[in-house]
């Protein structure tokens, strides 16, 4: 049995709408990712492995940062979305990205990467520790490990008695991820994941876009997210299509924000990066060799 035989559900589904949602999501979260990658040290000439590429936004950020001397390999289990990623990278004039279709749990990938990165992907992978350790083996010693994942744990605290529409969205989101196995606390779990894989303590940050202005793209992003979630919400009887009211959802959320003058919270993201440490093989051999020479006793 291969790793990818373990059933995995991508809660957001696969559709043209989901692809557009990912692109809109990037408008809201790319600034966080760019600053994060700069802080982590992604730089010119590096060879980067990016997992869960989706429509290609994270791979494109990395490709700009590593420049023409570097290269990015992006992997996603959804072969169709990679066609969009490829054409977007080409339109952006980025020739240093290769997208590979495959499940990162057992895809046949190159090795000797200088960085392993991803955004909003570990949360979907069952037995993520095992997959993560396999991926780390493709990274050079001294390589960068940098992941950005969601943390929905403070979500319930953002509910307010006068925001019934928003409150429902929070409840439905948490329930659908709970029922489909998506880890809504993956951001905070990054620390445990890194430590259990034997990595040094990561540098971690926490950030969320919150919005209120009429033109804030977050409102239509929320609507698009619920378009992606709707089939599962209905199938799992978490909410009916009428309760979600998808066509008016963005406006109803906006009305709540306007009435209370209280910004809408998008899911916070945790960023964590560290450097893969470890002695090179020749150092281990040297230690063994030295043991052959017992200390000279007086
Ligand atoms: C929420 S999207 C994020 C896309 C992109 N990282 C971004 O931030 O724009 C998650 C992506 O991870 C991919 N994915 C999930 N599990 C995967 C796996 N086991 N192997 C490869 N890709 C996976 C999904 O197909 C999806 O495209």
Q: How many domains does the structure of the chain reveal?
A: 1
Say what the pLDDT of residue 297 is: 47
Three-class secondary structure of residue 154 per DSSP: coil
Instruction: Please give the number of the atom of ligand 1 that sits closest to the Cα of 148.
Output: 8
pLDDT band at residue 137 under the 50/70/90 scheme: very high
Q: For ligand 1, is residue 227 a contact (CB within 6 Å)?
A: no
Say what the pLDDT of residue 12 is: 78
Give a yes or no: residue 297 inside a domain: no
Instruction: Please give the number of the atom of ligand 1 that sits closest to the Cα of 14.
Output: 25
Return the number of other C-beta atoms located less than 10 Å from residue 113's C-beta.
Answer: 24
Q: Which residue has the tokens 């929320």?
A: 222
Residue of the CA atom closest to atom 8 of ligand 1: 119
* pLDDT average, residue stretch 228-241: 96
The CATH number of the domain holding residue 50 is 3.40.50.150
Give a yes or no: residue 5 inside a domain: no
Q: What is the pLDDT of residues 2-47, one digit of tens each?
A: 555 567 777 777 888 888 889 999 999 999 999 999 999 999 999 9
Give a yes or no: residue 101 inside a domain: yes
Tokens of 261: 């003058």
Residue of the CA atom closest to atom 19 of ligand 1: 103
Sign for the CA dihedral angle at 172, 50, 83, 104 comes to negative
Max Cα-Cα span within the chain: 88
Q: Which residue from 27, 49, 107, 124 has its CB within 8 A of the most atoms of ligand 1, so it is best to mutate? A: 124
Give a yes or no: residue 294 inside a domain: no
Give a yes or no: residue 285 inside a domain: no
Give a yes or no: residue 287 inside a domain: no
Give a yes or no: residue 184 inside a domain: yes
Containing structural domain, residue 201 = 12-277
Q: What is the pTM of this model?
A: 0.91
Q: For ligand 1, is residue 57 a contact (CB within 6 Å)?
A: yes
Q: In this structure, what DSSP letter does residue 72 have? A: E
Return the number of other C-beta atoms located less than 10 Å from residue 110's C-beta.
Answer: 12
Phi first, then psi, for residue 39 (nearest 5°) are: -60, -40
pLDDT band at residue 254 under the 50/70/90 scheme: very high
Q: What is the pLDDT of residues 49-82, one digit of tens each?
A: 999 999 999 999 999 999 999 999 999 999 999 9
Give a yes or no: residue 29 inside a domain: yes
Q: H helices of the chain, where?
A: 16-40, 57-66, 79-91, 128-136, 164-180, 186-196, 218-235, 241-244, 246-260, 281-291
In order of 33, 58, 75, 217, 220, the CA distances from 27 in angstroms are 11, 11, 21, 8, 12
Instruction: Please give the number of the atom of ligand 1 that sits closest to the Cα of 78.
Output: 25
% pLDDT > 90, the chain: 84
């Amino acid at each position: 049995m291969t790793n990818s035989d373990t059933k995995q559900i991508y809660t957001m589904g696969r559709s043209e709408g989901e692809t557009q949602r990912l692109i809109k999501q990037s408008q809201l979260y790319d600034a966080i990712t760019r600053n994060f990658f700069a802080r982590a040290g992604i730089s010119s000439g590096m060879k980067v492995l990016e997992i869960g590429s989706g429509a290609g936004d994270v791979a494109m950020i990395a490709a700009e940062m590593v420049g023409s001397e570097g290269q990015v390999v992006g992997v996603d289990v959804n072969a169709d979305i990679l066609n969009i990623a490829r054409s977007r990278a080409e339109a952006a004039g980025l020739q240093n990205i290769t997208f590979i279709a495959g499940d990162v749990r057992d895809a046949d990938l190159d090795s000797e990467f200088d960085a392993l990165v991803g955004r909003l992907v570990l949360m979907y992978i069952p037995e993520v520790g095992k997959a993560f350790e396999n991926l780390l083996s493709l990274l050079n010693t001294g390589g960068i490990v940098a992941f950005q994942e969601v943390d929905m744990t403070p979500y319930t605290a953002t509910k307010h008695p006068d925001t019934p529409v928003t409150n429902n969205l929070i409840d439905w989101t948490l329930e659908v991820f709970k029922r489909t196995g998506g880890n809504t606390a993956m951001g905070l779990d990054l620390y445990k994941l890194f430590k259990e894989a034997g990595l040094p303590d990561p540098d971690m940050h926490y950030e969320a876009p919150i919005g209120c202005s009429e033109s804030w793209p977050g409102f239509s992003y929320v609507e698009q997210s619920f378009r992606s979630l709707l089939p599962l919400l209905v199938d799992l009887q978490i909410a009916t299509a009428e309760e979600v009211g998808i066509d008016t959802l963005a406006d109803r959320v906006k009305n709540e924000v306007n009435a209370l003058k209280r910004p809408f919270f998008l899911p916070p993201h945790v960023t964590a990066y560290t450097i893969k440490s470890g002695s090179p093989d020749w150092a281990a051999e040297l230690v063994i060799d030295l043991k052959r020479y017992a200390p000279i006793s007086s």
